[in-house]
Structure 1
């Protein structure tokens, strides 16, 4: 879906792999962080990324299927910039990405 909008997508299976991918691709403009991942969950990965000074202001949009009360607050407390739930509404997600990348 994102690639149809001209967005280059890098994929990682878990938070640790995501951090490794990020550090090897410093040109990354935004992260979609799945909250529920094996090995290292999205909360821990987000906190780890936020602890790296070079990524302190990188937009991170947390994505979760759980959508339980308090999940949004927990994501934002971990350092996420925004929060969307699954199933993802494509138009809403693109709007959030455009907002964080300041695209018109």
Structure 2
């Protein structure tokens, strides 16, 4: 879920769950601060990372620019993570698995390889 033009993850999830994409102004600021700390300016491509399906739960990404998000739909949850391996691993370990354990009372570990 990066800034590239060919990334259609957000749009695909929005369409599949009958939601509009909305701009999260707090995420715009968060991404902008990430770049400012590194002496760079945020581009319009990076700004698009702050467009999420309406009602999505933001999963903040302290190790990169692409936020993850979770969408509840028809009794299920769709979780989208950035594709950068170290960002995905960090968010899975520190955010997603704790969220799933709390939500579903999971005790075991889910491991997937793609």
Fold similarity call, TM over 0.5: no
| Larger Rg over CA atoms | 2
TM-score normalised by structure 1 residue count: 0.31
Larger fraction in strand: 2
